[in-house]
Amino acid sequence: MKALVLDAEARTANLQDVLKPSPAEGQILVEVQAISLNPIDPLYVANPLGSTGRTVGSDFAGTVSALGCNVPSSSNLEVGDRVAGFLQGACSVNERPGAFAEYLVIDWDLVFKIPDSVSTEEASGVSLVALTAAQGLYYRLGLEAPFAWDKKNMLAEHPELEPHHTEYADKSKPINVFIYSASTAVGLYGAQLARLSAKASGWTIKLFGAASKARWDMLKAEPYSYDQLVDYRDSDWSEQIINLSKGARMDYVYDCISEDSTVEQAASTLASNGKMAIVRSRDAGAWTSGPLPVEPMYGAVWEGLGADVHYGLGSNRAPVLRSPAARAFAVEFYKWVSQALGSKLRHVPIRVMPGGLERVTADGLVLLGAGTMEDREHKRTEEYMKPVSAEKLVYRFV
């Protein structure tokens, strides 16, 4: 089969012929029909962790081609079903192949079935970013989820994650939630999950966000329904948040970028008993700060795979240890997504890029850049190479 394979020495990825995988016990074989790019994909091609020969890429969608042994009948999976999920790819030191290939294998319970109302291309951009947002808001910050999951195992592994909203005795008192970088894919899912939390719990949530003014109309409309927005380009955006909340500080802060000064500024909006989650660890070197009112909660999306993962750049390679609780959370989240996507949960807008696997390196990785926003600058003039904002880049397999 064809796969996009890492060349670590040249810091690129090339289309190559590799062996088609076979599903092991409890796995399924998926014929990939669409893939979606995340910023981590070009980041770890340009800054290789894995060795040459690794299949790169994370998000995928396709059809079940075969079931491995001991896939339970309760899975409700059959050959031909449309499913989506994500793999670790070349985003770690571990020898775990990624998703940018014509076929892949994955644990049967780490995919979601794609509802009929959602296209395969639309579904390909859901798995990694939606789970990232759910982990941040539900698993770490403790907002009530619209699905059931076993919090006891989570608290046994992470006693510091005791739910926070139980401190509120009066449900009529609004809970202030602030999402930095609201127009990113993680931010778009984060807003929806916050709104769904309010419906599930009965709490009143006031949603604040920081994003480009060009996206404010979109973010104020359903399903995001932000109450107040500030422009992240303003140097005093954190002060504006407090003014817009009439002096009331934020109970929860979710920083979807976590680089440079964003963590320190976002933390300055917190109430004295507030909680904050981030998407990059302090050890990764993407951000530094002076004293913070709280230590932000960090966890990598890879926890959902239930495996030991070693990733990060340079000397800052951080181990993500196997977490049965985080994996169990991911399983329940994807069960819910199978029912909610297209109805309760709206997929992020997509941009279908021309070509298939053979164009990912030349176009998609260039467009997303290999790290900061400055890395996305290029001189290409094609319409499909315009800057990315509030959308996912998708490649369709023909």
Task: Output the pLDDT for position 373.
Answer: 58
The string of pLDDT tens digits covering residues 300-347 is 899 999 888 777 655 555 667 788 999 999 999 999 999 999 999 999
Distance between CA atoms of residues 3 and 100, nearest Å: 6
Task: Output the pLDDT for position 345.
Answer: 98
Residues 269 and 139 in one domain: yes
- Bigger pLDDT: 322 vs 130: 130
- For the beta carbon of residue 13, count every other beta carbon within 10 angstroms: 29
Token code pair at residue 193: 């999950």
CATH number of residue 26's parent domain? 3.90.180.10
Residue 300 lies in a domain: yes
Task: Using the 3D structure, point to which of 274, 300, 330 is the last residue of a domain.
Answer: 330
Domains held by the chain: number? 2
Distance between CA atoms of residues 390 and 186, nearest Å: 10
Residues 159 and 213 in one domain: yes
Token code pair at residue 291: 């004293």
The string of pLDDT tens digits covering residues 2-53 is 999 999 999 999 999 999 999 999 999 999 999 999 999 998 899 888 889 9
The string of pLDDT tens digits covering residues 14-26 is 999 999 999 999 9
**Considering the entire predicted model, what is its pTM?**
0.95
- Could you give the angle at the alpha carbon of 77 between the alpha carbons of 71 and 81, nearest 5°? 140
What's the whole-number mean pLDDT along residues 185-213?
A: 96
**Which string of DSSP letters, residue by residue, matches 222-259?**
TTT--SEEE-TTSTTHHHHHHHHTTT--EEEEEESS--
Share of the chain above pLDDT 70, in %: 94
Task: Output the pLDDT for position 372.
Answer: 60
End-to-end CA distance of the chain: 14
What's the whole-number mean pLDDT along residues 240-254?
A: 96
Residues 357 and 306 in one domain: no
Residue 307 lies in a domain: yes
Residue 340 lies in a domain: no
pLDDT at residue 392 greater than cutoff 70? yes
pLDDT at residue 212 greater than cutoff 70? yes
Read off the pLDDT band of 290 (50, 70, 90): confident
Residues 259 and 296 in one domain: yes
Residues 79 and 153 in one domain: no
The string of pLDDT tens digits covering residues 75-85 is 999 999 999 99
pLDDT at residue 167 greater than cutoff 70? no
Q: Which of 167-171, 215-219, 246-250, 298-302 has the lowest mean pLDDT?
A: 167-171
Task: Output the pLDDT for position 289.
Answer: 86
pLDDT at residue 219 greater than cutoff 90? yes
Read off the pLDDT band of 390 (50, 70, 90): very high
What's the whole-number mean pLDDT along residues 353-376?
A: 86
Residues 150 and 229 in one domain: yes
- Domain hosting 75: range is 2-126+347-396
Residue 117 lies in a domain: yes
**DSSP bridge pairs for 310:** 319
Task: Output the pLDDT for position 149.
Answer: 94
pLDDT at residue 296 greater than cutoff 90? yes
Task: Output the pLDDT for position 370.
Answer: 80
pLDDT at residue 168 greater than cutoff 70? no
Q: Are strands 112-113 and 350-353 parallel, antiparallel or unpaired?
A: unpaired
Task: Output the pLDDT for position 361.
Answer: 96
Token code pair at residue 386: 């315009």
Residue type, 103: Y
Task: Output the pLDDT for position 163.
Answer: 67
The string of pLDDT tens digits covering residues 92-117 is 787 889 999 999 999 999 999 999 99
Residues 272 and 191 in one domain: yes
Residue 341 lies in a domain: no
Q: Which of 40-54, 224-238, 242-256 has the lowest mean pLDDT?
A: 40-54
Distance between CA atoms of residues 2 and 363, nearest Å: 18
What's the whole-number mean pLDDT along residues 209-229?
A: 97
Task: Output the pLDDT for position 274.
Answer: 92
Average pLDDT, the chain: 92
Residue 76 lies in a domain: yes
Task: Output the pLDDT for position 312.
Answer: 63
